[in-house]
Structure 1
């Protein structure tokens, strides 16, 4: 049985999370390139030396944000939402609905969407490649669901798995970007997601 964390360790973890949250706020307000470590530290109410005990740079925070989003997205694809957890088209529809809801909850934080899909690719070439790697992972994960559905008989046997997976990931990312618009309220966002799911099933379901 693991020992409970000490107060000092709990406070260290809490402060790290506060720094990340403050950085996301500052990036959203000023843009990644114009934001400085001093701006982030001031927002938290700490000195530079305290900041650097937790992160080497503001870029390190961006890396942490990417890791967190990827972990949350991957967690949404486990258990009942894993590819092999369903065996029929109706079960798959329900599963897609659950996954869409989980991904929408992640994309509801417009600050993170703007940071990852608008600002991050312009930071440097290495981070751009990291983002493309994240997109490739999303395509591979999506392909696993399509493969399972095709093998199980409820998706079209002639489905181009990789191309369809890319198209679906593009639709997910596009919907996330649309969510940055102040014109897209909660109702319209929900309708847009449902329309995307309907388009998906109209195109990939096996026809009797």
Structure 2
């Protein structure tokens, strides 16, 4: 079913409609197998509409990934990396973030397909694109790790960015399993518990 014609809506709405259509098609077909014609078909409009707002497939793919990253940021916007001042608060925050990410994966599987499968494939001419995405996500996680170190909850002899990448890797692997799990909810507790255990038993201060 097409995402809807865009001839009578404003420029911003048209661009958003194209992004929604592209996100759906990328998630279903994958970046490499998707053509402009597939996006136009999902949108219910001609190629000309697409090219008024985006240069090419790579341009829209970057926009789709950026939009997906904003959704993740918005889901965690109320989590201040410096807010936890005690170990119980810190553990509660880690669990809370885990549950928010779990809910987002279950509610927005298309978003996860875009981030986990297509971000790396987007543009061979921009080899650092996926790297910048990973570094940005790691920096966000590293801020929470740094607070744990400053408060004495976590070991100080590890690099926060390296740990941020490692923790995000655990989260990504768990999220990928969720996308294909017959009963995702059954994985909630084991998934979050595993991340907590590795963080606090593997990184916990002596």
- Alignment partners' CA distance in 2, 1:97 and 1:30: 33
| More helix as a share of residues | 1
SS of 1:23 mapped into structure 2: helix
Corresponding residue of 1:120: 119
- Alignment partners' CA distance in 2, 1:112 and 1:75: 13
Pair 1:31–1:66, CA change in 2 (3 A):
closer
Pair 1:182–1:152, CA change in 2 (3 A):
closer
Contact 1:139 1:166 survives alignment (8 Å): yes
Deviation at 1:148, TM superposition (A): 1.5
- Alignment partners' CA distance in 2, 1:41 and 1:34: 14
Q: Structure 2-normalised TM-score?
A: 0.82
Deviation at 1:77, TM superposition (A): 4.3
Corresponding residue of 1:90: 88
Deviation at 1:184, TM superposition (A): 5.1
- Alignment partners' CA distance in 1, 2:25 and 2:91: 39
Matched, 1:12 2:11: yes
Alignment of 1:44-123 (within 5 A): 44-79=43-78, 81-108=79-106, 109-123=108-122
Q: How many residues align?
A: 199
Pair 1:104–1:65, CA change in 2 (3 A):
farther
- Alignment partners' CA distance in 1, 2:191 and 2:51: 42
Alignment of 1:154-169 (within 5 A): 154-169=153-168
Q: Structure 1-normalised TM-score?
A: 0.81
Pair 1:198–1:123, CA change in 2 (3 A):
same
Aligned-residue Cα RMSD (Å) equals 2.5
- Alignment partners' CA distance in 2, 1:59 and 1:143: 29
